[in-house]
Amino acid sequence: MSNFADLDGLIWYNGELVPWQDANVHVLTHGLHYASCVFEGERVYGGEIFKLTEHSQRLVRSAELLDFEIPYSVEEIDAACRQTVEANSIVDGYVRPVAWRGSEMMGVSAQSNRINLAIAVWEWPSYFAPEERLRGIRLQISKWRRPDPATAPTDSKAAGLYMICTLSKHRAESEGYQDALMLDWRGRVAEATGANIFFSKDGVLHTPTPDCFLDGITRRTAIELAGRRGIKVVERPIMPEEMADFEECFLTGTAAEVTPVREIGPYSFQPGTICEQLIADYDAEVRRKNSAAAA
Ligand SMILES: Cc1ncc(COP(=O)(O)O)c(C=O)c1O
Can you tell me the mean pLDDT for 247-274?
97
pTM exceeding 0.85? yes
**pLDDT at residue 290 in the model:** 61
pLDDT at 266 over 90: yes
221 lines ligand 1 (CB under 6 A): no
Q: Whose CA is nearest to atom 5 of ligand 1?
A: 195
pLDDT at 127 over 70: no
pLDDT at 294 over 70: no
Quote the CATH superfamily of domain 130-286.
Answer: D-amino Acid Aminotransferase, subunit A, domain 2 (3.20.10.10)
Give the distance (Å) from ligand 1 centre to CA of residue 96. 13
- CATH 3.30.470.10 maps onto the chain at 4-123
pLDDT in tens, 227-251: 999 999 999 999 999 999 999 999 9
Give the distance (Å) from ligand 1 centre to CA of residue 109. 29
Q: Whose CA is nearest to atom 7 of ligand 1?
A: 216
Average pLDDT, the chain: 96
Band the pLDDT of 126: cuts 50, 70, 90.
confident
Strand partners, 264: 139, 267
**pLDDT at residue 239 in the model:** 98
Long-range pairs for 9-13: beta carbons < 8 A, 24 or more residues apart: 9/87, 9/88, 9/120, 9/121, 9/122, 10/84, 10/87, 10/88, 11/84, 11/118, 11/119, 11/120, 12/80, 12/81, 12/83, 12/84, 12/117, 12/118, 12/119, 12/120, 13/116, 13/118
Cβ pair 35, 42 in contact under 8 A: no
- CATH 3.20.10.10 maps onto the chain at 130-286
**pLDDT at residue 272 in the model:** 96
Ligand 1, closest atom to CA 165?
Answer: 1
Q: Which fold has domain 4-123?
A: D-amino Acid Aminotransferase; Chain A, domain 1 (3.30.470)
Q: Whose CA is nearest to atom 4 of ligand 1?
A: 195
51 is catalytic: no
196 lines ligand 1 (CB under 6 A): yes
Q: Whose CA is nearest to atom 1 of ligand 1?
A: 194
97 lines ligand 1 (CB under 6 A): no
286 lines ligand 1 (CB under 6 A): no
pLDDT at 289 over 70: no
Band the pLDDT of 131: cuts 50, 70, 90.
confident
Q: Which of 254, 257, 278 to mutate to test the pocket of ligand 1 (most atoms within 8 A of CB)?
A: 254
C-alpha to C-alpha distance for 39 and 163, rounded to whole angstroms:
14
pLDDT in tens, 171-209: 999 999 999 999 999 999 999 999 999 999 999 999 999
142 lines ligand 1 (CB under 6 A): no
**pLDDT at residue 288 in the model:** 78
Q: Which of 164, 182, 196, 211 to mutate to test the pocket of ligand 1 (most atoms within 8 A of CB)?
A: 196
Taking Cα atoms as reference points, which of 143, 286, 126 lies closest to residue 218?
286
218 lines ligand 1 (CB under 6 A): yes
Q: Whose CA is nearest to atom 8 of ligand 1?
A: 216
Give the distance (Å) from ligand 1 centre to CA of residue 33. 23
